[in-house]
Amino acid sequence: MTNIIDELKWRGAINQVTDEEGLNKLINEKSVGLYCGTDPTGDSLHIGHLIPFMMLKRFQMAGHRAHIIIGGGTGSIGDPSGRNSERVLQTMETVHHNEEALTKQMKKLFGADNITIVNNYDWLSKIDLLAFLRDYGKLFNLNTMLNKEVVASRLEAGISYTEFTYQILQSVDFHHLWQEHDVQLQIGGADQWGNITAGIDLIHKMEGSDAQAYGLTIPLMLKADGTKFGKTAGGAVWLDPKKTTPYEFYQFWLNQDDRDVVRYLKYFTFLSHEDIEDLAEKVKTQPEKREAQRKLAEEVTEFVHSKEAVEQAKRISAALFSGDVKTLTADDIEQGFKNMPAVECASEPANIIEWLVGTGIEKSKRQAREDVNNGAIRINGDRITDVDFEIDPSAKFDGRYVIARRGKKKYFLAHVK
């Protein structure tokens, strides 16, 4: 079995470990149970959330028993981590909807082998107030809780008792999985260190100091320019294809900085050491070819979406680069032109000049005629030079779209009404 700790170290994916020697010994002896959790605060993960789950996937691929907690219980009260203010409490209806969406995403990413997905609402909801205070509250020292970074950072602005108790609930999760699923290791982001160590302390207090329980955190991911990874001008990069299309997802990875791409290859792909080192060398010697970025985009898009999504993204990219959009499908258009200037047009055929002015692509008939005569107008990939040309909106792309291009790069997507 692969020494997964050494593998994670090579990939720069370990921030802190509790009792590394003990964890290494355990991993070398048997298949380890481990878990990572996420709260259903939304109906999709974004790529920032993906980082610890990529590490969980590596453990799974190395033969270990991966567990995922969808935090229906903890998600209903709110994790104080990484925030300067209280979370807005969601309705239980919203929480349950998000649980279902995240569970579906996890099943797609992890498949069926060596994976167990559970919901902490199933056990946390059964603990009454007196049992919570008697069985768990007595085991947590208030001073220790206040000193946890995730709480200490909130004391000045203020923190509710609800969010203050989050670390107890997460600790209960670890103990439950330890007891019911033979889970010995919890992994999470760097901001989860306090919650993870609180869970280990709880297990030792309840089960004895020799109980095997460990924690591992992932470094905070920053880009080379110091800004937060995973954010774009348009916001988060989501795993849900309805929120971030596979084409946009592919483009995000394709556009990574040379200074970041090798680190991302180590974090987000399952390529071998040799393959990554070869790509790293090409970044140094042939950066203009951007082979590392292309490989990164292909690997992560295939993992999150599918091989077909990769091929579609490449097809859209090639068509936009060359201007040859005739081979694209309506679905390709929907993805690739999502952020292009959009106009509307009627479904009936219309003269090219009338159509350009009617959609607002051209400001005047005079300008429209000039551009057509000069060959500056393309409709659905074809150059139009005849001012009497008639556009038939139903002719291409299932009658849903007309693509107009003015000049070399100015695209417009006309939605057929």
Whether 342-416 and 231-322 are alike in CATH topology: the answer is: no
Query: What span, in angstroms and rounded, lies between the C-alpha atoms of 376 and 383?
Result: 8
> Quick one: pLDDT at residue 82?
57
Examine the pLDDT at 350 and tell me if it is beyond 70.
yes
Predicted TM-score of the model (pTM)? 0.86
For the 342-416 domain, the top CATH level (class) is: alpha beta
Q: How does pLDDT run across 8-61, given as a tens digit for each residue?
A: 999 999 999 999 999 999 998 889 999 999 999 899 999 988 989 999 999 999
Find, among 241, 271, 205, the residue nearest to 58 by Cα: 271
User: Measured between alpha carbons, how far is 244 from 236 in angstroms, rounded to an integer?
Assistant: 9
Digit-coded pLDDT (tens) for 183-208 = 999 999 998 999 999 999 999 999 99
Of residues 242, 401, 251, the one with CA closest to residue 321: 251
User: How many other CB atoms sit within 10 Å of the CB of residue 276?
Assistant: 20
CATH superfamily of 4-218: HUPs (3.40.50.620)
Question: What average pLDDT does the structure give for the chain?
Answer: 91
The answer to whether the annotation marks 35 as part of a ligand binding site is yes
Residue 291, judged by CB atoms within 10 A of its CB (0-12, 13-18, 19+), counts as: middle
Q: How many residues does the chain have?
A: 417
Q: Is 231 annotated as a binding residue?
A: yes
Q: What are 343's strand-pairing partners? A: 414
Distance CA 147, CA 154 (A): 11
Instruction: Write down the pLDDT at residue 79.
Output: 67
Question: Measuring CA to CA, which residue among 181, 174, 183, 182 is closest to residue 203?
Answer: 174
pLDDT tens digits along 262-278: 999 999 999 999 999 99
d(C-alpha 394, C-alpha 361), whole Å: 19
CA 207 to chain centre: 36
| Domain definitions of the chain by residue range | 4-218, 231-322, 342-416
Identity of the residue numbered 211: A
Q: Which CATH architecture has domain 231-322?
A: Orthogonal Bundle (1.10)
Contact 317, 250 (CB under 8 A): yes
